[in-house]
């Protein structure tokens, strides 16, 4: 039996917002590019309604159009970043990062992709060796970081293309890779190998290796890294000595995130 409260709740629901979210959810890894009719069908909306939603999302920067097709833009990732931040990931992963930092004697961090940058959502450090000291909330350009390349490797082709169309590639040191073709190759290598490593690219002295963190559907939702000073350890040695350890901690964090009810449900959608 429906109650007055049920009717009141329905009146307060924002139908337009619900329809816009259905339009966003129409896109999947297998269907990153869709026509208006395909979106309307998947979202179970009239074509005119779906079109208004798409125009609004495009105006806000969440969707773009290429010919007859529509694609999600990287700004959509901000929604996921906000969700991870709201779960207080720093507390959730504190023990894992502290253990990793303790084992290596250096720093460990977890980040998510937000537009063209990575954002630190958790971090632990035994001692500070770097001039470029990061903290929770720190932002760095994705292309010049190990975690950024891992996160970019987790994007689909269209979203990755959108990233390259919107990001600015500046030389932060004389070792920063800014050539788009070379960066794409490095991202492809990261996708194949399951990790990325950088040395003196973000700043002189910074050497790091990162691996992806996954949800229940094996989607990349974050990146985990261990970092040190390049005068203390080379990139090659860092990968050789710490990659297995890093992958084990990533697997533990992935399992931990999968036990979070909201993340588990979102992975089933």
Structural domain boundaries in the chain: 4-72, 78-268
Q: Helix (H, G, I), strand (E, B), or coil: what is residue 224?
A: strand
Question: In terms of DSSP H, where are the helices of the chain?
Answer: 4-12, 15-25, 36-43, 47-59, 77-86, 89-92, 94-104, 146-153, 157-166, 180-193, 235-258, 261-268
Q: Please tell me the distance from the alpha carbon of residue 57 to that of residue 79, in angstroms, as a whole number.
A: 13
Span 4-72 CATH architecture: Orthogonal Bundle (1.10)
Tokens of 136: 């929770």
Q: Please tell me the distance from the alpha carbon of residue 105 to that of residue 100, in angstroms, as a whole number.
A: 8
Give me the chain's average pLDDT, please: 84
DSSP bridge partners of 220? 214
Give the residue ranges of the chain where pLDDT is below 70. Answer: 1-14, 29, 77, 80-92, 127-133, 259-269
211-238 per-position pLDDT tens digit: 999 987 788 989 999 999 988 899 999 9
Write down the CATH number for the domain with range 78-268: 3.30.450.40
* pTM beyond 0.85: no
Supply the DSSP string of 14-56, one letter for each residue: -HHHHHHHHHHHT--SS-SEEEHHHHHHHHT--HHHHHHHHHH
Asked whether 246 and 104 are in contact (CB, 8 A), the reply is no
47-91 per-position pLDDT tens digit: 999 999 999 999 998 899 888 999 888 777 677 666 656 655 666
């Amino acid at each position: 039996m429906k109650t007055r409260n049920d009717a009141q709740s329905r009146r307060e629901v924002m139908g337009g917002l619900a329809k816009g979210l259905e339009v966003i959810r129409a896109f999947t890894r297998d269907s990153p590019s869709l026509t208006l009719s395909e979106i309307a069908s998947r979202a179970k909306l009239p074509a005119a309604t779906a079109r208004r939603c798409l125009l609004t999302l495009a105006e806000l920067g969440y969707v773009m159009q290429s010919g007859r097709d529509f694609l999600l833009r990287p700004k959509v990732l901000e929604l996921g970043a906000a969700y991870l931040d709201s779960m207080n990931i720093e507390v959730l992963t504190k023990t894992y990062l502290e253990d990793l930092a303790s084992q290596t004697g250096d720093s460990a961090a977890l980040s998510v992709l937000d537009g063209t940058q990575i954002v630190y959502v958790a971090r632990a450090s035994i001692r500070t060796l770097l001039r470029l000291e990061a903290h929770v909330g720190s932002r760095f350009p994705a292309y010049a970081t190990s975690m950024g390349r891992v996160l970019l490797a987790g994007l689909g082709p269209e979203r990755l293309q959108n990233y390259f169309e919107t990001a600015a590639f500046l030389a932060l040191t004389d070792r920063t890779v800014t050539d788009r073709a070379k960066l794409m190759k490095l991202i492809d290598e990261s996708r194949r190998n399951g990790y990325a490593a950088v040395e003196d690219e973000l700043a002189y002295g910074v050497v790091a290796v990162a691996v992806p963190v996954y949800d229940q559907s094996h989607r990349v939702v974050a990146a985990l890294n261990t970092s040190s000073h390049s005068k203390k350890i080379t990139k090659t040695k860092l990968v050789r000595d710490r990659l297995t350890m890093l992958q084990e901690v990533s697997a533990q964090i992935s399992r931990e995130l999968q036990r979070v009810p909201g993340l588990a449900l979102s992975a089933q959608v």
